[in-house]
């Protein structure tokens, strides 16, 4: 970390450029899960099957209802946050904290939705003899297939949100000083990197 | 952010103090989930019930086997990382990245384990008539009760790990410069906080 003036100028330019490309990356990372959430939501909403064994709809399983809600909330939040992220403005402290916390919560919500739905799909395919749960997918193959697709998309959304969490935690915490740092005689921060 | 020398000295003292208290907080935040993981693991491992309806053990359900494994991995990682965190050393870049990534992964693993196990416990209590899954907890109340306790403890572990993720992302990303920053004439970093 040298302190000469031309280098500082270049650093500022680099900062602005990286800030702009980060804003683009963030907007894309928010629009992508929005689209995926809507697709996962629509597939699950339309998922019902009626045959000689009876009829089965997504709303019969509490887990899939949760998946639909989680995807709906995620799509709405992704759209709103993409709009906010796309506007070229300096990232304030309160905005960084809000994005950071909401992204973390959304990541956990969507990951949990994906995980519990996977569990239900798995049980529906494999059943469990110990607790006498039948393999429902033998009778409702089409339903199970659509559910699997919806759940898989939800997992891709989880991955996007894990990336977003990383990005917003960088945006937030890079505003703070390093926990272990010392000052040199020029008054600039030197970070201990071994 | 003034640049006078006594203030710098005080800042360095503050940094050292906050670094020490952060190390203590981190060690506790790692030892606590270790203990909880072991408790959750032991409760689940010993969880089996035999009665006139038959016998049910945690190992009959794949989800609970996953929960046991996740808790075991989590306990081991928590212990190892607590030892590393307790040693007073400057936090290097590679260590910060390693802790950050592993903490994130562990958070997701333990949250997913808690979520899927909750789903199974819920289904065991409530059943699901649409897919003809019976309410197993009517026959195996003791088993379900212990499983609920183990799963609840796993959720507390998830909370600890969410906190740890926050801490290690702070430790990592505070080492980087702010994405939107500019330099004043003293060569020190001024961060835009509105």
In a 13 Å sphere around the CA of B134, the CA atoms on its Cβ side amount to 12
Interface probe for A, chosen from B11, B118, B123 (most Cβ of A below 10 Å), is B123
Q: What is the pLDDT of residue A188?
A: 43
Q: What is the pTM of this model?
A: 0.80
Per CB-CB distance under 8 Å, the chain B contacts of A123 are: 120, 123, 133
ipTM: 0.77
Q: What is the pLDDT of residue A61?
A: 86
Instruction: Convert the pLDDT of each residue in A94-135 to its tens digit.
Output: 888 889 999 999 999 999 999 999 999 998 888 887 777 888
Instruction: Convert the pLDDT of each residue in B144-176 to its tens digit.
Output: 999 999 999 999 999 999 999 988 888 888 887
Cross-chain Cβ contact A179/B19 below 8 Å: yes
Better-scored residue on pLDDT, A92 or B190:
A92
pLDDT(B184) > 50: no
- Tell me which chain B residue has its CA closest to the CA of residue A119: B116
Mean pLDDT by 10 residues, chain A (194 residues): 54 65 86 94 91 84 92 95 86 86 93 93 85 83 92 95 90 72 40 42
All residues at 6 or more sequence positions from A98 whose CB lies less than 8 Å from its CB, including other chains: none
Residues of chain A by 3-state class (helix, strand, coil), percent to 5: 70, 10, 20
Average pLDDT, chain A: 82
Cross-chain Cβ contact A93/B193 below 8 Å: yes
Q: What is the pLDDT of residue A14?
A: 61
d(CA B123, CA B132): 11
Per CB-CB distance under 8 Å, the chain B contacts of A134 are: 131-133
Average pLDDT, chain B: 82
Instruction: Convert the pLDDT of each residue in B69-103 to its tens digit.
Output: 999 999 999 999 999 988 887 778 888 888 999 99
Q: What is the pLDDT of residue A5?
A: 59
pLDDT(B33) > 90: yes
Whole-number percent of chain B with pLDDT over 90: 40
CB < 8 Å & 24+ apart, contacts of B138-144: B139/B51, B139/B53, B140/A131, B140/B49, B140/B51, B140/B53, B140/B56, B142/B49, B143/B47, B143/B48, B143/B49, B143/B56
Interface probe for A, chosen from B60, B155, B174, B191 (most Cβ of A below 10 Å), is B174
DSSP string, B27-60: HHHHHHHHHHHHHHHHHHHT-EEEETTEEEEGGG
């Amino acid at each position: 970390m040298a302190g000469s003036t031309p280098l500082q100028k270049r650093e500022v330019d680099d900062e602005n450029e990286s800030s702009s490309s980060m804003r683009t990356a963030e907007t894309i990372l928010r629009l992508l899960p929005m689209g995926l959430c809507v697709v996962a939501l629509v597939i699950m909403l339309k998922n019902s099957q009626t045959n000689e064994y009876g009829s089965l709809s997504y709303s019969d399983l509490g887990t899939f209802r949760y998946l639909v809600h989680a995807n709906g909330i995620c799509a709405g939040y992704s759209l709103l946050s993409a709009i906010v992220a796309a506007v070229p403005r300096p990232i304030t402290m309160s905005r960084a904290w809000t994005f950071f916390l909401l992204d973390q919560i959304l990541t956990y919500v969507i990951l949990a939705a994906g995980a519990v739905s996977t569990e239900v799909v798995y049980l529906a395919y494999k059943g469990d003899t110990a607790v006498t749960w039948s393999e429902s997918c033998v009778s409702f193959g089409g339903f199970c297939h659509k559910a699997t697709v919806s759940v898989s998309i939800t997992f891709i959304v989880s991955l996007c949100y894990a990336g977003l969490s990383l990005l917003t935690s960088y945006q937030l915490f890079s505003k703070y000083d390093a926990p272990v740092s010392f000052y040199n005689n020029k008054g600039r921060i030197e970070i201990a990197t071994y």
